[in-house]
Structure formats: C-alpha cells, structure tokens
Structure 1
Amino acid sequence: MDFLVGGDFPVEIVLAIIAILLSAGAFLWEFVFVGRRQLGYRVQMDTPVTGEIESVFPGVLPQLRPDLDGSSPELKDLSVVLVRIENSGATTIDSRDYQAPDVGRVGLHLHFPQRRVIGMAVTELSEPGLADSLDRDSGIAVREDMIGHIGVIDLPKVSLNRGDHYKILAILQRSEGTGEYRAPVLQGGIKGGTVTETQSRTGASRVMLALTAFLVLVIVVQLVVAAVEPDPTPLDCAAGKLTLVGSSAFAPVILDAAAQYRKRCTGAEFTFAFEGTERGLDRLIEEGKNNRELLAITDGPKGEGYAALLKRPLGLSLFTMVVHKDVGVRSLTAAQIEDIYQDRITNWRDVGGPDLPIVLVNRIPGSGTRNTFERRLLTQPQVIRSHVSCKALEDLPPPDAAHCDVQVTKDMLQAVADLRGAIGYSEFSEATRVGVPTVAINGVAASRDSAIDRTYPFWGIEFAYSYGELPGDSLAAAFRRYLTDEAGRNVLTAHGNVACGDLPDPTRCQPDV
C-alpha cells in the first residue's frame, strides 16, 4: 500500500480504519441483554470531556479556534455520549419492522437536546455482518434541528437478531443553555412492538471503557486535523447567487434544502420569491434568457406554452383538504368535494356537518396547487366565479354560501382558519404544521404510503424548471442535482414528500401519469 502521497497523507482515513477495526472487535467484550419484545436503547455514557482532554493534551482545546470564515467549530463545552441500540426482545427485528416509509432507509433518530453533533462513530457491533447496514451508504447521517437546538444522528433500518446490538459514540458540543443537558432520546417505532429505554444489568467492562477512551482520542485527533486542514469543498459544490421562484406550497422544502446546501457549499447564495407557480414560470420566461441562475419550482407540469422551459421532476408531494375547526367534518368523498366546489352543496349539514353555510376558499387561477386539486379531484372545470378577497369576508360573516380567492399557501391556511364554514386545500405538511384540521378523502387519510399505493388521490409531482439547458458548472445546475441526490432526498422525505427515485414506480413522475 502506498501511503506517501506528497502532502496529502490520508490521516483521517487511516484513523477511521483504526476506529472501525477496534469497533468491530469491541463487541466480543460486551454483555448480552434479553428482555421482552422491544427495541431498546441505553445511554451508557454521557459526560463532559473538556477537562480530561486538556489534562492529557494541555492547552490543545483553547488553541483550536474556527477559521476566519467560521466553518470550523470551536472546541469547547464538549461532552461524550455512548448509546447502545439493541434488540432487547425475543424475536428478530428486520428492516420492514420499522415504522418509517418503506422507500426510505432511515428508521430511527437519536436526538441530543441542547447539543450539536461534531463527531460520531459506530463503536461496537454484536455481529460483524451489521457493518454492512451501518456503512457510509446505509443512510446513517448527522444533522441539526436549528429551530429546536437539537443534534440528530439518523440511523438506518438495521436488521437485528435476538440479542443483537450496536453502539453509537458521539462527541457533542453545547448549542443552547447552561447547566445539565437533557438526556438523549431515541425516536422511532417498531411495528407490533416498542422502542424503550432499557436498564443495564452489569457495568461496562474495563476493556470496553479503554476502547471507548481510545476512540474518543481518535475522534478528537480527527477534529484537530479538520480544524487545522479543513475538508476540501465537495465536488458538486458551485459558487454564485441563485434565485428560486414559484410554488408557495413547496417553499418550505426548498428553503430547508437551500439551508442544507449552504452548509456544505459556503460560496452559494440564495434569494427566494415564492409567489405561486404561474408567476414563477412567467418570471422565468421574462428573465431566464439573460439570467441562467434562476429556477422555477412548480406543483405539477407547466401545461400549455412556455416552450423555452425545460423541466426536471423532483418528487411526489402530498396535498390535503382543510376546513375551519367549527365544521367538524373530517372525511369527505371525492364526489362530495366536487359537488361543494361546483356549488351543488352549499351547507355543511348536507355532508354530516352543522347547519353552516360553506365558504369556498380557492387559490387564484394559474396556481399549481389549484391545478393539482382540479386535476386530481374534479371531473370538470369549476364554475366561473368573480374574484373576491378573503379579507373582505372576515368582518362580514355571510348569511349564505360564499367564496374567495388567495394568492399563496400561507394565505389559504390563514383564510380557512379565520372564516367559519371555510374549506380549502393545501400542501399536507404545511397544513399539519400550522394546525388547520385536515380531511380524509374516500375514508383514506393523507399519508405517503396511501399516496404511493394510490388509495389516496390528492397528490402531485413537483418540478424544477430552467430556461433551456443550464451550464454544467452553474449553481442552478448543481442545486437542481442536489435536490435529486441522496442529501436532497432526505430533505424531501423530512417534509413528507417522496423523491422520484424512491418511488416504486418512478414513471409516476412523468407529467401525464
């Protein structure tokens, strides 16, 4: 083996190999715990390490400071956590037993409140074969919930025989607050079983503690190397300034994806104008020829016109009907929804609700969400109505059925929440986040699984449009690729969507399917 590559000696790779080899051998020294049917986890270590490390390497941590660009973490307020994940039940747990979408690879989420994850390793495997389920292609990943100040390690759907286990060793840094940290929590579910915090019957052996201490040192050395010599920019990073316009329903996904992209690619800047699908496409036509750093995101295909625009499917997006809280109706048939929007049903009592006039809330014509609604749930065009602002109805409760129009998703959810008797439609994850009551269709609630198997009818395909072919080295091209690769797929999944590449039938992402 040739390790002499000029100044590019692969120190981190060598350290990682050593850590993996030690982790694979460490399981021989660990005890086996068998209990009732469950997937258990135990926090076997959660302790500050700053003082201990400084006593061995005096002055190391204070000298480590972020680079001038702020990309490297300041190494202070560190702690070490060791968590054991185990099949503590009496039966085998396989990848299909995790209560997570079948199309995804992530099954569990290890949360560290008030801390961010700055280093992580798999330190022990009860069976060597588990290594194949926990390698870098397994879906195991580190991220941070910026709003909740929670560090997260996403864990894959690992098949575990009775008594099998693996351990996650994390180096953490405080992200919020003072005093003692809240305990780490493993989130997720097992079909027909439980995910439970279990208790250890014996303490960890001295050999295991020694191995753990060595791995802590390995990770700290890796952090030192990273601080002194930062990682190179990822190959698919591009610098520049990209403007994203279009669908307000898909805006939260794009905003999150852009934030994640900026963490990896510090030379990228984004601006946003989510004013609706039609306005986004019109802006792309108007400006796209002279501005190649412009992408339009749409709910569904562009339809007629816009011949100069090229599309790229992103994923399946879930939509839902929403109603005012006083309506009380939580399920409608597709036929009832059509009758309501064709003015054939104008009072909630006709569909099992209270004696209350129905207020129809519509997105304006040209909205991608409206087009998806009409395409999936209506058999003929809506009746022609004059434009009425929903704000005009707030202070004058109508004595009879009424209607109004809104520009974007945020206004739709606000109007339905404010107007008694209101019904509308929205992207599903935004509706649940805001807390507006949702409505099942034909007795089937909105979910990824029901949309994938087509038992739930209200779904659409999101597209990214560009003005002609994009330069391969442009930020627009790089970010569009990011939305469809592994990292971007994780963002889509986190918001309740399904990437086209993860669908059992990817042809559903074609415009006419």
Structure 2
Amino acid sequence: MRKKFVALFSFLCIFAIIAAGCGNSSSSSSSGSNKKSSSSSNATGSITAVGSTALQPLVQEAATEYMNNHSGTTINVQGGGSGTGLSKADEGAVDIGNSDVFAEEKDGIDASKLVDHKVAVVGFAPVANKNVGVKNLTKKQLIDIFTGKIKNWKEVGGADQKIVIINRAEGSGTRAVFEKTALDGATPVKSQEQDSSGTVQKIVSETPGAISYLAFSYLNDKVLALNVDNVKPTEANVQTNKWKIWAYEHMYTNGEAKGLTKAFLDYMLSDDVQTKLVPKLGYMSVADMKVEKDAKGNITKK
C-alpha cells in the first residue's frame, strides 16, 4: 500500500511540473513586445496604411521593424494627408487610415463605424526660414501673418523681407490642427500649398521670408521653429498643454481590427515602439500626457 501511495504521489508531482511548464510557456510567449502572443500576431499577408504625413515616419519605421521580425508580412505605408486616410478607411479601401484629427472633426466621414487607435501625440510648430530675424511671435501676430494682415517681417521686428506663406493642402490634418489650435479657426490667405510635410520643410529652408508649420518630428536645424507668446515648442510644454498646438496621432480601422492589422496595431502600442521609436522620431507617448483632449478640443487633466 505504501508503494502504491508513493507511486501515485510521484505521478501527481510529475503531472504538476508538466502543467506548470506548459503554463510558463504560455505566459512567456505573451510577454515581451516582440514575442508572438496570439493568433493575430502570427498573421501573415499584406495590409496598407494611408494618410497623415506627420505620422508617416513613425508608422513607416515601425512597419519596417515589424516586417523584419515577422516573415511573410507586408505593410505598405503611404501618405496623402489625414483627409485621405480617413476617407479611405471610411470606404473600407485600406486597412488603416492615419490621421492627425479625430474622425468626428472631418466632414463626410461616418465616425460611428471607425475605431480609433491613438498611437502617439505630436506637437506642431510655426516654422520660418532661418534668416527672417524673428524667434518669437504673439498669437495675434501669427494669425495676422497667416490671414494676410502682416506682409513683411519688419512689421514684427524682423528683416525687411516679404513674408511668403506656405500652406499644407486642403484635407491635411496638420493644416486642420494648425488652423484650429494656432489660428483660432481663422482661414489662411490663398498661398502656395504642398501635399507633404517633407516638401514644406525643404521649401521653407530654401525660400527667403518663408513661413509655414510642421510637426515636431520634421523640425531640424534647416528651419527655425518659432516661439508663440514666449512659449517654446517643446515636448514638456505639450504634455501640460502650455504649448497648445498639438494633436493625437490616430490609426483608424473600419470596425474592429483583425489579423495582421490587429497584430501591427498591437505592435504600435508595444514598449518597443512607445519607449524607443516614439521618442527617437520626435513624437510623444500618449501615456506621458498630463492632460487629455477630446474631439471638440476640450482639455481635462488626467
């Protein structure tokens, strides 16, 4: 009887060890942002993300890293502006629509069928050619410049030089955010319009007297980021809403994400992207914000 009891006890111990091993294997496979944790993370195939050029650098680099770590996957990332991203997602023509604005803010979009995935926060800044002779503008001066009331940099203490306004095209999320948060809803004068942030950056750097606006991720030493009301366009100021020209970066899906789309969106929110790529490329993690903003622009403290 004693031998039977020992044998039974040994069998139960072995069974418990095996079960524990299986449990550990399951939990370890779900930890770590690069490990496959669900059927969706094992998905293969091809998806397309279209829209915001302000968000494009982050999505593009994340897609490249994801494809390098997951064979059999193709993630196509294209620009075109937030309006294009939202309309294509609304139509079901693409898997992901990238946008700098809430779907509810865009006319003609059925926001009720789109699912919002906030993947980052981006600040925007007015930028000028480095030789305009001005580093700070009041908000009123900024509005007066973009609405055509101020036409020469000497009127705001700068060089005797004609102001050349460079706008983003209609449908651009960057333009929508800038008009709403920097210009208090004012419509800029008719001017040269560009479809991408990269082109704006290049033109402003090369055009005497030029002024425009760019996401922080496009700021470099080739253009001059202007202060507004003596507040600097910094991440710390965005996080507290002291710098008010900012927006969430959204990745919208038509209905709940599935398969490779879900796997990639999960990766966008993983530590590998949020703590490494996001700050590296000039964006901010949503988790670092001290305030929240809704589709109407209302600000609440976290």
Normalised-by-shorter TM-score class: 0.7 to 0.9
Q: Give the aligned residue type for 2:271.
A: E
Q: Once the 2 structures are TM-superposed, how far is the Cα of residue 345 of structure 1 from its aligned partner?
A: 0.6
**Alpha carbons 1:296, 1:466 under 8 Å: kept:** yes
TM-score, scaled to structure 1: 0.49
Q: Once the 2 structures are TM-superposed, how far is the Cα of residue 245 of structure 1 from its aligned partner?
A: 0.5
Q: Once the 2 structures are TM-superposed, how far is the Cα of residue 468 of structure 1 from its aligned partner?
A: 2.1
Over 3 Å counting, the alpha-carbon distance change for 1:498 and 1:343 in structure 2 is same
* Cα distance in 1 between the residues matched to 2:219 and 2:77: 21
Q: 1:427 aligns with which of 199, 203, 215?
A: 215
Indicate the SS of the match to 2:227. Answer: strand
Over 3 Å counting, the alpha-carbon distance change for 1:380 and 1:282 in structure 2 is closer
Q: 2:289 aligns with which of 503, 507, 512?
A: 503
Q: Give the aligned residue type for 2:284.
A: V
Aligned counterparts, 1:305-454, within 5 A: 305-307=108-110, 308-383=113-188, 385=190, 403-432=191-220, 435-454=222-241
**Alpha carbons 2:121, 2:249 under 8 Å: kept:** yes
Give the match for residue 487 of structure 1: 272
Q: Once the 2 structures are TM-superposed, how far is the Cα of residue 459 of structure 1 from its aligned partner?
A: 1.1
* Cα distance in 2 between the residues matched to 1:360 and 1:479: 38
Q: 2:99 aligns with which of 285, 288, 298?
A: 298
Give the match for residue 255 of structure 1: 60
- For each residue in 1:320-353, what CA deviation from the matched residue of structure 2 results, as whole angstroms up to 9, or x when unmatched? 1111122121111211110101111100001111
Give the match for residue 8 of structure 2: none
Aligned counterparts, 1:49-128, within 5 A: none
Q: CA RMSD in A?
A: 2.8
- For each residue in 1:243-264, what CA deviation from the matched residue of structure 2 results, as whole angstroms up to 9, or x when unmatched? 1110011111111111222243
**Alpha carbons 2:167, 2:192 under 8 Å: kept:** yes
* Cα distance in 2 between the residues matched to 1:246 and 1:483: 16
Q: 1:478 aligns with which of 263, 267, 273?
A: 263
Greater relative contact order (Cα < 8 A, sep 6+): 2
Q: Once the 2 structures are TM-superposed, how far is the Cα of residue 232 of structure 1 from its aligned partner?
A: 7.1
* Cα distance in 2 between the residues matched to 1:295 and 1:9: 36
* Cα distance in 2 between the residues matched to 1:383 and 1:410: 20
Greater share of residues in helix: 2
* Cα distance in 1 between the residues matched to 2:181 and 2:35: 46
Indicate the SS of the match to 1:498. Answer: coil
Give the match for residue 167 of structure 1: none
Indicate the SS of the match to 1:469. Answer: coil
Task: Give yes or no for the alignment of 1:459 onto 2:260.
Answer: no
Q: Once the 2 structures are TM-superposed, how far is the Cα of residue 276 of structure 1 from its aligned partner?
A: 1.0
* Cα distance in 2 between the residues matched to 1:284 and 1:331: 39
Give the match for residue 10 of structure 2: none
Over 3 Å counting, the alpha-carbon distance change for 1:485 and 1:239 in structure 2 is same
Give the match for residue 65 of structure 1: none
**Alpha carbons 1:409, 1:426 under 8 Å: kept:** yes
**Alpha carbons 2:146, 2:189 under 8 Å: kept:** no
Tell me the matched-pair count: 271
Give the match for residue 267 of structure 1: 72
* Cα distance in 2 between the residues matched to 1:467 and 1:317: 23
Aligned identity (percent) is: 25
Aligned counterparts, 1:188-227, within 5 A: none
Q: Once the 2 structures are TM-superposed, how far is the Cα of residue 414 of structure 1 from its aligned partner?
A: 1.4
Aligned counterparts, 1:223-234, within 5 A: 233-234=36-37
* Cα distance in 1 between the residues matched to 2:163 and 2:238: 27
Q: Once the 2 structures are TM-superposed, how far is the Cα of residue 287 of structure 1 from its aligned partner?
A: 4.1
Q: Once the 2 structures are TM-superposed, how far is the Cα of residue 356 of structure 1 from its aligned partner?
A: 0.4
Q: Once the 2 structures are TM-superposed, how far is the Cα of residue 469 of structure 1 from its aligned partner?
A: 2.4
| Unaligned residue ranges in structure 2 (runs of 5+) | 1-12, 26-30
* Structure label with greater radius of gyration: 1
* Cα distance in 2 between the residues matched to 1:257 and 1:484: 10
- For each residue in 1:492-511, what CA deviation from the matched residue of structure 2 results, as whole angstroms up to 9, or x when unmatched? 22222222233233x33656
Q: Once the 2 structures are TM-superposed, how far is the Cα of residue 316 of structure 1 from its aligned partner?
A: 1.4
Q: Once the 2 structures are TM-superposed, how far is the Cα of residue 467 of structure 1 from its aligned partner?
A: 1.4
**Alpha carbons 1:299, 1:372 under 8 Å: kept:** yes
Indicate the SS of the match to 1:274. Answer: strand
* Cα distance in 2 between the residues matched to 1:327 and 1:437: 9
| Unaligned residue ranges in structure 1 (runs of 5+) | 13-135, 142-230, 386-402
**Alpha carbons 1:315, 1:462 under 8 Å: kept:** yes
Q: Once the 2 structures are TM-superposed, how far is the Cα of residue 462 of structure 1 from its aligned partner?
A: 1.0
Q: Once the 2 structures are TM-superposed, how far is the Cα of residue 379 of structure 1 from its aligned partner?
A: 2.2
* Cα distance in 1 between the residues matched to 2:183 and 2:141: 10
Q: Give the aligned residue type for 1:414.
A: K
**Alpha carbons 2:117, 2:252 under 8 Å: kept:** yes
Q: Give the aligned residue type for 2:184.
A: T
- For each residue in 1:45-76, what CA deviation from the matched residue of structure 2 results, as whole angstroms up to 9, or x when unmatched? xxxxxxxxxxxxxxxxxxxxxxxxxxxxxxxx
